[in-house]
Structure formats: structure tokens, C-alpha cells
Amino acid sequence: MEIFTGNFTQQEPLPRAALDAALAVLGHGRLHRYNVAPGEIAETALLEEEFAAFTGARYCLAVASGGYALACALRTLDLAPGSVVLTNAFTLAPVPGAIASVGLVPAYVEVTEDLTIDLKDLAAKIDTTGARVLMLSHMRGHLADMEALMAICDAAGVRVIEDCAHTMGASWAGTASGRHGVIGCYSTQTYKHMNSGEGGFLVSDDADLMARAILLSGSYMLYPRHRAAPSAEAFEAARWTTPNISGRMDNLRAAILRPQLADLPRQIARWNALYQTAERGLAETPGIQLPHRPQAEAYVGSSIQFRLPGWPPARIQSFVAACAARGVELKWFGAPEPVAFTSTHHSWHYAPAQAMPETDRILSTLLDMRLPLTFSTEDAAQIARIITDEVSRA
């Protein structure tokens, strides 16, 4: 039997340019974003300009983590305590966690078999909950029909915050992920599309919201040093009423991210080559169901998902264990207890329990696998062969 010997959690080394940039920052010691020499532009300010240009956004703020970006985005909307915020039932814990952490109440929306938010259930939940905010999670890199989703939300007066932790560099019908709603949030945690250990961004075209986000992040009265920011007029009223909840990105992380951002289109092409190789290897396997990728979706294939419809839990557990014995690490969203980063709405006890029958049905047979860039297309093909073989054995 074939055995895969690669490491599913090993990232590529940072590029030489990132190491040189980090050494330069360490050499001068000005790690804080507002600590600059005369005439110097902070690495963080430059990164914000470059990321705004990459996404096509007017404004950008670099922050300490993707989770901070989500909570900060919610705070900018100035919602009343206890307000309901809609989000996908299929997401990762930081999304409902961000909602609960700022005193709001998560209400879940069902998922489709293609792993995107169910638009019919979204419309129904808007009516039944009265929610006027949707925190949309592009979970595991799958984009819903964003034109249809925005038509529903705009008609109901629902503002959309996009969680783009898994879709940095993706787009729908030519519009970058994160640019449909009022705010887009991104992550640069190690397992995302750029690696600074922890980090994140907010982007928006709304001057008032971005002024509040910059003040919330801990700018004090140094906001004129931001370059991808609104004019001073947007800060005038907010600077007296916006609390400081410090979550700034530092210059060291910004320095190592700038070369990665410049190289991101090439990295996306590499991820998609891995994804398409694995997808081809699994597509004809009896028993496996892959999500459909619409033509309008330009995705980033840094992970792949598939379902085993009709399989009972014990059979899936045995299958996952058999794949692991051959070096292939799969995450199962139907497990009764959370495992590492993988959990479901049943585990999030900081939110009200909610019946999600369709989501539970789909997640009960859903498997997920990372595709790190330390893998080759030959590795992806071998992994697909091992999975196919174990499906046939099971």
C-alpha cells in the first residue's frame, strides 16, 4: 500500500525578501507602527496601502489577528447590546465567538451541499430574527452567489461583514472577496494565505466605519500617520467617543507580509494546481461527493472538502483512522466532540442552541484536508489515490 510521508501542517519557509525585511526592522528596533524616524514611512502603513490596492478597497487597516478584525468590524457598526447577528452555521469558532465577545447574539443560517450559506434560509432568518447584520463566513474558501446574496441583504437593509480568512485572493464575478459587504476581514495566521503567525486586515470604502476601526485599534491621535485611511474630517466626531481597544499590527509582521503579498498571485496558482490535481483524483471515486465550484468563483484551493453521503459515523471514523495510518490527515466535521480547530455549532455554548437540521446532515459526512504549498502535484495525486483506495476498502 502507498504511504504518504508529507507533513500537513508544515508551511514553506518565508521568502528571502521577508527575512531581509525582518532583519532591517529588528536592526533599527522600531517595531511599533507609530515609532518612525524622521521622513520614514512605517512598514505597517505601506502594507495597508498595498493591501488596499490588492483588494481594490479605498481604505485598509492592519491588525493583530483575524479574530480581532471580526470583532472590530462589529464594533464599528455600533449595534445595541444583545442585537442578533446572522452567520453561517458552518464556520469556525472565531466567527460566532467574535459576535458573542462584543455582547451580540449569533443566529445561524443553514449551509448548502456546496458548503455555502443557504440563501433561502438567509432570507427566512432575516424575517424571523429581525437581524440587520450578516457576518458572512466564506468557510474553507467557498463563495456563495454574492450578487444574489447582496440583493437579499440590500433589500432588507442588512449590512454584510465578510469573513475572508479562507478567501484572500479569491473573487466572485471579478469582484474581490471582501469587497461586496461594508467591511471585509482577513487573516494572516500561519495556516492562511500569507503567514505572519498572527495578523489580519479590515478593508472598506466607508470612511466613517474605517475611522472608527482605526481609532478602536489604538491609534490614539496618531491616525494622520495612516496612508490607506480616510481624511481627518472622518475622525473629528469619532475620536471623542470611540474607545481604544488596542489591536494594532506591528512593523515586524508587516515587513514579512509585504513580500508575501507581492508574491500572492503566484502562490494562488500553486494552490489551485494542488487542488485541481486532488479534485481530479477524487472526482470519479464512487461514494465521494465534491462541492460544485461555479464559473463565477475564482477560488484559492488551499484546502479541499468532500462528503461521504449515507456513511454512518462509525464507518467514517474507521475511514479517517485508516487514512491517517497511511499518512493522510483528514478532519471530520461530524465528530461528536471538537478536535483541534474543527468544531460545530453544537460546541459553541456561548451562543443559544439552535436547530440546524440541514447543516447537521451535511457536516455529519463532511471531510476536510489542507493542501500546504510544501506539497507537490505528485503528492496531491498520491493523496487522492490513497483516499480512493480507502473509500473502496471501507
pLDDT tens digits for range 69-95:
999 999 999 999 999 999 999 999 999
Could you tell me if 374 and 358 lie in one domain?
Answer: yes
1 is a domain residue? no
**The last residue of a domain, from among 192, 225, 258:** 258
Could you tell me if 62 and 154 lie in one domain?
Answer: yes
Residue 326 binned pLDDT confidence (cut-offs 50, 70, 90): very high
Give the pLDDT of residue 19.
Answer: 98
Give the pLDDT of residue 35.
Answer: 97
Query: Which residue is listed with cell 442552541?
Result: 353
Could you tell me if 150 and 234 lie in one domain?
Answer: yes
Residue-wise pLDDT tens digits, 219-266? 999 999 999 999 999 999 999 999 999 999 999 999 999 999 999 999
Cα–Cα distance, 319 to 378 (Å, whole number): 23
- Secondary element (H or E) of residue 181: none
Give the pLDDT of residue 327.
Answer: 98
339 is a domain residue? yes
DSSP output for 85-154: EEEESSS-THHHHHHHHTT-EEEEE-B-TTSSB-HHHHHHHHHHH---EEEEE-GGGPPP-HHHHHHHHH
Could you tell me if 244 and 273 lie in one domain?
Answer: no
Give the pLDDT of residue 151.
Answer: 98
* Three-class SS state of 325: helix
| Mean pLDDT, rounded, for 38-66 | 98
Residue 319 binned pLDDT confidence (cut-offs 50, 70, 90): very high
Give the pLDDT of residue 176.
Answer: 98
Give the pLDDT of residue 211.
Answer: 98
Give the pLDDT of residue 349.
Answer: 96
* Three-class SS state of 16: helix
Could you tell me if 304 and 189 lie in one domain?
Answer: no
Give the closest residue to 28 by CA, choosing from 252, 246, 217.
252
Give the pLDDT of residue 226.
Answer: 97
Could you tell me if 252 and 272 lie in one domain?
Answer: no
Residue 361 binned pLDDT confidence (cut-offs 50, 70, 90): very high
Total tally of structural domains belonging to the chain: 2
Residue 3 binned pLDDT confidence (cut-offs 50, 70, 90): very high
Residues recorded for the chain: 394
If you ran DSSP here, which 8-state letter would residue 41 be given? Answer: -
255 φ/ψ angles, rounded to the nearest 5 degrees:
-65, -40
Give the domain CATH number at 313: 3.90.1150.10
Could you tell me if 237 and 303 lie in one domain?
Answer: no
| Mean pLDDT, rounded, for 284-290 | 95
Could you tell me if 190 and 297 lie in one domain?
Answer: no
| Mean pLDDT, rounded, for 183-198 | 98
What's the domain range around 104?
Answer: 16-258
Give the domain CATH number at 150: 3.40.640.10
Query: Which residue is listed with cell 487573516?
Result: 187
Give the pLDDT of residue 25.
Answer: 98
Could you tell me if 80 and 111 lie in one domain?
Answer: yes
* Three-class SS state of 68: helix
Cα–Cα distance, 182 to 210 (Å, whole number): 10
3 is a domain residue? no
261-279 b/e (C-beta count within 10 Å ≥ 16 → b): beebeebbebbbbbbebbb
The three three-digit cell numbers of residue 331, written as one number: 478532519
Give the pLDDT of residue 392.
Answer: 96
| Mean pLDDT, rounded, for 264-292 | 97
Could you tell me if 286 and 248 lie in one domain?
Answer: no
**The last residue of a domain, from among 258, 285, 308:** 258
Q: Sign of torsion, CA 297 168 265 229?
A: positive
Give the pLDDT of residue 26.
Answer: 98
On whether the CB atoms of residues 188 and 195 are closer than 8 A, the answer is yes
Give the pLDDT of residue 102.
Answer: 98
Residue 39 binned pLDDT confidence (cut-offs 50, 70, 90): very high
Global pTM reads 0.97
| Mean pLDDT, rounded, for 265-286 | 97
8 is a domain residue? no
On whether the CB atoms of residues 204 and 57 are closer than 8 A, the answer is yes
Cα separation values, 80 from 132, 134, 170, 242, 243, Å: 11, 15, 33, 15, 16
DSSP output for 318-366: HHHHHHHHTT---EETT-SS-BTTB--GGG-TTS-----HHHHHHHTTE
Give the pLDDT of residue 366.
Answer: 98
Give the pLDDT of residue 194.
Answer: 98
**The last residue of a domain, from among 258, 285, 310:** 258
5 is a domain residue? no
Could you tell me if 352 and 382 lie in one domain?
Answer: yes
157 is a domain residue? yes
* Three-class SS state of 183: strand
Cβ count within 10 A of residue 94: 22
Amino acid (one-letter) located at 48: E
92 is a domain residue? yes
Query: Which residue is listed with cell 491588525?
Result: 63
185 is a domain residue? yes
Could you tell me if 176 and 293 lie in one domain?
Answer: no
Residue 298 binned pLDDT confidence (cut-offs 50, 70, 90): very high
